[in-house]
Amino acid sequence: MADCHFCAPPDEELECGDPHFRVTHAPLDRARPGTLIVATRRHVLDFGDLSGEEAAGFGALLRRLYPAVRAATGAERVHIVATMDFVPHFHVWVVPRAAAEPLRGIPYLVSPAACTRQDATAALERIGAQLA
């Protein structure tokens, strides 16, 4: 779709090794370094619209991303969130949470976050190195 944010080519994309998904850094004004967005290349709404191959690829991709994000960011936990409330194109936030972070779960996920382009790019490079 021409007016869909996730259908437009991103500025920076992590080579994730799956042809059905693109992995980018989350928006800088809403994310800590290493927070990712995994989105389908195809314009579909949610899990119910994925092909069997896409659904299997998503699970395999997250199985590789979790340890890569933990290693690259030092996170104790990795959270995933998907709502599609603002953009009706399948995308999942992958959110690292540091051990020293006092908040947990939803309170952590809704707490303010931001990072610089430089920190986001460095985190993407470290995650990419872990995936390679």
What separation in angstroms does the CA of 24 have from each of 11, 21, 35, 93, 99?
8, 10, 9, 10, 24
- Provide the mask over 2-21, with x wherever binding to Zn ion is found by CB under 5 A and - wherever it is not: --x-xx--------------
Query: Nearest approach, Cβ of 87 to Zn ion (angstroms)?
Result: 7
* CA dist., res. 106 & res. 104, Å (int): 7
Query: Which one of 9-17, 26-34, 86-94, 107-115 is the stretch in contact with Zn ion (CB under 5 A)?
Result: 86-94
Q: Which is nearer to Zn ion, 87 or 110 (CB)?
A: 87
Residues near Zn ion (CB under 5 A) = 1, 4, 6-7, 43, 89
